[in-house]
Structure 1
Amino acid sequence: MGVLGPLLTRRDGDQWAYAIRVRDEHLNQAQVVHGGTITALMDHALSTIAWDRAGRVPCVTVQLNVNFLGTSRAGQLLVARGKVSHEAGSLLFLDGTLHADDILVSTAQAIMKRLEKRD
Protein backbone atom coordinates (compact mmCIF):
# COMPACT_ATOMS: atom_id res chain seq x y z
CA MET A 1 0.00 0.00 0.00
CA GLY A 2 2.99 2.31 0.41
CA VAL A 3 3.37 2.69 -3.35
CA LEU A 4 -0.35 2.65 -4.04
CA GLY A 5 -1.44 5.14 -1.36
CA PRO A 6 -2.28 7.27 0.34
CA LEU A 7 -5.53 5.36 0.51
CA LEU A 8 -8.65 7.44 0.98
CA THR A 9 -11.64 5.87 2.74
CA ARG A 10 -15.20 7.09 3.09
CA ARG A 11 -18.41 5.65 4.44
CA ASP A 12 -20.88 5.52 1.54
CA GLY A 13 -24.30 4.65 2.95
CA ASP A 14 -23.98 1.17 4.42
CA GLN A 15 -20.78 0.49 2.46
CA TRP A 16 -17.23 1.78 2.33
CA ALA A 17 -15.44 3.35 -0.63
CA TYR A 18 -11.66 3.11 -1.03
CA ALA A 19 -9.85 5.48 -3.36
CA ILE A 20 -6.52 6.74 -4.62
CA ARG A 21 -5.63 9.80 -6.63
CA VAL A 22 -3.78 8.58 -9.74
CA ARG A 23 -0.14 9.66 -9.83
CA ASP A 24 2.54 9.18 -12.49
CA GLU A 25 3.91 6.09 -10.73
CA HIS A 26 0.54 4.36 -11.26
CA LEU A 27 0.82 4.68 -15.05
CA ASN A 28 2.17 2.29 -17.65
CA GLN A 29 4.18 3.25 -20.76
CA ALA A 30 0.95 4.18 -22.57
CA GLN A 31 0.31 6.79 -19.82
CA VAL A 32 -2.84 5.07 -18.55
CA VAL A 33 -3.26 3.40 -15.16
CA HIS A 34 -1.40 0.09 -15.02
CA GLY A 35 -3.52 -3.02 -14.60
CA GLY A 36 -1.47 -3.91 -11.53
CA THR A 37 -2.55 -0.69 -9.86
CA ILE A 38 -6.20 -1.47 -10.51
CA THR A 39 -5.78 -5.04 -9.32
CA ALA A 40 -3.97 -4.01 -6.13
CA LEU A 41 -6.64 -1.44 -5.25
CA MET A 42 -9.47 -3.91 -5.91
CA ASP A 43 -7.74 -6.62 -3.85
CA HIS A 44 -7.19 -4.25 -0.95
CA ALA A 45 -10.76 -2.90 -1.02
CA LEU A 46 -12.44 -6.30 -1.31
CA SER A 47 -10.25 -7.92 1.33
CA THR A 48 -11.01 -5.05 3.73
CA ILE A 49 -14.74 -5.47 3.08
CA ALA A 50 -14.38 -9.23 3.73
CA TRP A 51 -12.39 -8.54 6.93
CA ASP A 52 -15.14 -6.28 8.23
CA ARG A 53 -17.89 -8.78 7.34
CA ALA A 54 -15.90 -11.60 9.01
CA GLY A 55 -15.91 -9.77 12.33
CA ARG A 56 -12.50 -8.22 11.73
CA VAL A 57 -10.85 -11.60 11.42
CA PRO A 58 -8.04 -11.64 8.82
CA CYS A 59 -9.04 -12.85 5.36
CA VAL A 60 -6.81 -13.94 2.49
CA THR A 61 -7.49 -13.82 -1.23
CA VAL A 62 -8.23 -17.21 -2.75
CA GLN A 63 -9.21 -15.92 -6.17
CA LEU A 64 -9.47 -12.48 -7.77
CA ASN A 65 -10.84 -11.88 -11.27
CA VAL A 66 -10.50 -8.36 -12.61
CA ASN A 67 -12.23 -7.13 -15.75
CA PHE A 68 -10.67 -4.07 -17.39
CA LEU A 69 -13.40 -2.05 -19.08
CA GLY A 70 -11.81 1.33 -19.63
CA THR A 71 -8.78 3.50 -18.97
CA SER A 72 -7.91 6.14 -16.44
CA ARG A 73 -5.16 8.74 -16.31
CA ALA A 74 -3.06 10.79 -13.92
CA GLY A 75 -5.08 13.10 -11.70
CA GLN A 76 -8.26 11.05 -11.73
CA LEU A 77 -9.79 9.66 -8.56
CA LEU A 78 -10.09 5.85 -8.61
CA VAL A 79 -12.85 4.68 -6.28
CA ALA A 80 -13.35 1.01 -5.40
CA ARG A 81 -16.56 -0.31 -3.86
CA GLY A 82 -17.71 -3.83 -3.17
CA LYS A 83 -20.10 -6.09 -1.36
CA VAL A 84 -20.27 -9.63 -0.07
CA SER A 85 -22.67 -11.53 -2.30
CA HIS A 86 -22.46 -14.94 -0.62
CA GLU A 87 -20.86 -16.81 2.27
CA ALA A 88 -20.13 -20.53 2.47
CA GLY A 89 -18.26 -21.81 5.51
CA SER A 90 -15.01 -19.87 5.74
CA LEU A 91 -15.36 -18.47 2.20
CA LEU A 92 -16.75 -15.05 1.29
CA PHE A 93 -17.69 -14.20 -2.29
CA LEU A 94 -17.50 -10.55 -3.28
CA ASP A 95 -18.31 -8.32 -6.23
CA GLY A 96 -16.58 -5.00 -6.79
CA THR A 97 -16.49 -1.99 -9.06
CA LEU A 98 -13.87 0.62 -9.78
CA HIS A 99 -14.76 4.06 -11.10
CA ALA A 100 -12.49 6.81 -12.39
CA ASP A 101 -14.22 10.14 -11.83
CA ASP A 102 -17.63 8.36 -11.87
CA ILE A 103 -16.88 6.34 -15.05
CA LEU A 104 -16.83 2.55 -14.63
CA VAL A 105 -13.37 1.27 -15.61
CA SER A 106 -13.22 -2.12 -13.91
CA THR A 107 -15.24 -4.82 -12.20
CA ALA A 108 -13.99 -7.67 -10.03
CA GLN A 109 -15.13 -10.88 -8.42
CA ALA A 110 -13.24 -12.29 -5.43
CA ILE A 111 -13.24 -15.24 -3.13
CA MET A 112 -11.76 -14.54 0.30
CA LYS A 113 -11.06 -17.07 3.02
CA ARG A 114 -11.67 -16.18 6.65
CA LEU A 115 -8.75 -17.33 8.76
CA GLU A 116 -9.19 -18.80 12.21
CA LYS A 117 -9.15 -16.37 15.11
CA ARG A 118 -5.88 -16.20 17.01
CA ASP A 119 -5.71 -15.62 20.73
Structure 2
Amino acid sequence: MDELIPDPPPGFVRSKGRGPFSTHNGPYFHRMGEDGLVEQAFYVLPRHANGIGIVHGGMLSAFSDGLLAAAVGRGTDKVGVTIHLSIDFLHMARQGDWIIGEARMSRATKDVAFADGRLHARGVDIVRASGVFKLMSRHG
Protein backbone atom coordinates (compact mmCIF):
# COMPACT_ATOMS: atom_id res chain seq x y z
CA MET A 1 0.00 0.00 0.00
CA ASP A 2 1.39 3.40 -1.01
CA GLU A 3 1.25 5.85 1.89
CA LEU A 4 -0.18 9.31 1.29
CA ILE A 5 2.62 11.83 1.04
CA PRO A 6 1.88 15.47 0.26
CA ASP A 7 3.72 17.29 -2.50
CA PRO A 8 7.37 17.81 -1.53
CA PRO A 9 8.87 21.23 -0.83
CA PRO A 10 9.53 23.34 -3.97
CA GLY A 11 12.16 21.90 -6.30
CA PHE A 12 12.31 18.45 -4.69
CA VAL A 13 11.66 15.31 -6.77
CA ARG A 14 11.39 11.69 -5.67
CA SER A 15 14.76 9.91 -5.59
CA LYS A 16 15.23 6.67 -7.50
CA GLY A 17 17.98 4.09 -7.71
CA ARG A 18 18.79 3.98 -4.01
CA GLY A 19 19.86 0.83 -2.21
CA PRO A 20 17.34 -1.51 -0.56
CA PHE A 21 17.84 -0.05 2.95
CA SER A 22 17.16 3.55 1.86
CA THR A 23 14.33 2.49 -0.43
CA HIS A 24 12.68 0.67 2.48
CA ASN A 25 13.12 3.64 4.85
CA GLY A 26 12.06 6.31 2.33
CA PRO A 27 10.74 7.50 0.12
CA TYR A 28 13.40 10.18 -0.14
CA PHE A 29 13.39 13.29 -2.30
CA HIS A 30 16.22 15.49 -3.61
CA ARG A 31 16.92 18.72 -5.45
CA MET A 32 20.10 20.03 -6.99
CA GLY A 33 21.84 22.50 -4.73
CA GLU A 34 24.48 24.96 -5.84
CA ASP A 35 28.20 25.02 -5.03
CA GLY A 36 28.37 21.37 -3.95
CA LEU A 37 25.34 21.53 -1.64
CA VAL A 38 23.39 18.27 -1.50
CA GLU A 39 19.74 18.61 -0.49
CA GLN A 40 17.48 15.68 0.41
CA ALA A 41 14.13 15.42 2.18
CA PHE A 42 11.59 12.95 3.54
CA TYR A 43 8.06 13.23 4.85
CA VAL A 44 7.65 11.79 8.35
CA LEU A 45 5.27 8.83 8.17
CA PRO A 46 3.99 6.89 11.20
CA ARG A 47 6.67 4.22 10.63
CA HIS A 48 9.42 6.85 11.03
CA ALA A 49 8.22 7.88 14.49
CA ASN A 50 8.28 6.41 17.97
CA GLY A 51 5.19 5.71 20.07
CA ILE A 52 4.57 9.38 20.84
CA GLY A 53 4.87 10.62 17.26
CA ILE A 54 8.43 12.00 17.44
CA VAL A 55 10.84 11.03 14.65
CA HIS A 56 13.02 8.15 15.82
CA GLY A 57 16.68 9.05 16.31
CA GLY A 58 17.68 5.99 14.30
CA MET A 59 15.73 7.30 11.31
CA LEU A 60 17.38 10.71 11.60
CA SER A 61 20.80 9.05 11.91
CA ALA A 62 20.30 6.80 8.88
CA PHE A 63 19.00 9.71 6.80
CA SER A 64 21.94 11.91 7.89
CA ASP A 65 24.44 9.18 7.02
CA GLY A 66 23.04 8.87 3.48
CA LEU A 67 22.92 12.64 3.08
CA LEU A 68 26.58 13.07 4.06
CA ALA A 69 27.62 10.15 1.85
CA ALA A 70 25.79 11.79 -1.08
CA ALA A 71 27.76 15.00 -0.48
CA VAL A 72 31.00 13.00 -0.53
CA GLY A 73 29.90 11.22 -3.72
CA ARG A 74 29.10 14.52 -5.39
CA GLY A 75 32.42 16.02 -4.30
CA THR A 76 34.64 13.09 -5.27
CA ASP A 77 32.65 11.00 -7.76
CA LYS A 78 33.48 8.02 -5.54
CA VAL A 79 31.47 5.92 -3.13
CA GLY A 80 31.97 6.92 0.49
CA VAL A 81 31.72 4.18 3.12
CA THR A 82 31.12 5.53 6.63
CA ILE A 83 34.08 5.37 9.00
CA HIS A 84 32.72 7.79 11.59
CA LEU A 85 29.36 9.48 12.05
CA SER A 86 28.65 12.16 14.63
CA ILE A 87 25.06 13.20 15.32
CA ASP A 88 23.84 16.01 17.57
CA PHE A 89 20.09 16.00 18.19
CA LEU A 90 19.10 19.64 18.61
CA HIS A 91 15.31 19.57 18.49
CA MET A 92 12.51 17.13 17.78
CA ALA A 93 10.42 16.65 14.67
CA ARG A 94 7.05 14.95 14.48
CA GLN A 95 4.94 12.78 12.25
CA GLY A 96 3.64 14.92 9.36
CA ASP A 97 6.75 17.12 9.14
CA TRP A 98 8.97 17.44 6.08
CA ILE A 99 12.59 16.87 7.15
CA ILE A 100 15.02 18.69 4.86
CA GLY A 101 18.73 17.91 4.92
CA GLU A 102 21.63 19.92 3.54
CA ALA A 103 25.22 18.68 3.40
CA ARG A 104 28.58 19.58 1.88
CA MET A 105 31.87 17.80 1.60
CA SER A 106 34.40 19.88 3.53
CA ARG A 107 37.59 18.20 2.29
CA ALA A 108 39.00 15.03 0.81
CA THR A 109 42.32 13.23 0.64
CA LYS A 110 43.16 10.37 -1.71
CA ASP A 111 41.43 7.83 0.56
CA VAL A 112 39.15 9.72 2.97
CA ALA A 113 36.56 12.50 2.76
CA PHE A 114 34.82 14.64 5.37
CA ALA A 115 31.30 16.07 5.24
CA ASP A 116 29.06 18.23 7.41
CA GLY A 117 25.33 18.73 7.32
CA ARG A 118 22.14 19.66 9.07
CA LEU A 119 18.52 18.58 9.11
CA HIS A 120 15.71 21.02 9.69
CA ALA A 121 11.92 20.98 9.94
CA ARG A 122 9.47 23.89 10.24
CA GLY A 123 12.41 26.31 10.06
CA VAL A 124 14.18 24.80 13.09
CA ASP A 125 17.46 22.85 13.01
CA ILE A 126 16.82 19.39 14.44
CA VAL A 127 20.12 17.58 13.72
CA ARG A 128 23.73 18.57 13.14
CA ALA A 129 25.86 15.81 11.64
CA SER A 130 29.40 15.22 10.46
CA GLY A 131 31.08 12.19 9.02
CA VAL A 132 34.29 10.67 7.77
CA PHE A 133 34.10 8.37 4.74
CA LYS A 134 36.51 5.86 3.21
CA LEU A 135 36.60 6.51 -0.54
CA MET A 136 35.97 3.54 -2.79
CA SER A 137 36.01 3.29 -6.57
CA ARG A 138 32.61 3.00 -8.25
CA HIS A 139 32.15 -0.46 -9.71
CA GLY A 140 29.30 -1.22 -12.15
Q: Which residue of 2 aligns with 1:30?
A: 52
Residues paired across the two proteins, number: 118
% identical equivalent positions: 26
Report the TM-score when normalising by structure 2: 0.78
Unaligned runs of 5+ residues in structure 1 are none
**1:73 lines up with 2:77 in the alignment:** no
Q: Secondary structure at the match of 2:137?
A: coil
Q: Secondary structure at the match of 1:3?
A: helix
Moved beyond 3 Å, runs of 4+: 116-119
Report the TM-score when normalising by structure 1: 0.91
Q: Which residue of 2 aligns with 1:20?
A: 42
Q: Which has the higher strand share?
A: 1
Q: Which residue of 2 aligns with 1:62?
A: 83
State which of 108, 121, 124 in structure 2 corresponds to 1:100. 121
CA offset digits 1:86-107 (Å, max 9, x no partner): 2223111111100012210000
Q: Alpha carbon RMSD of aligned pairs, Å?
A: 1.5
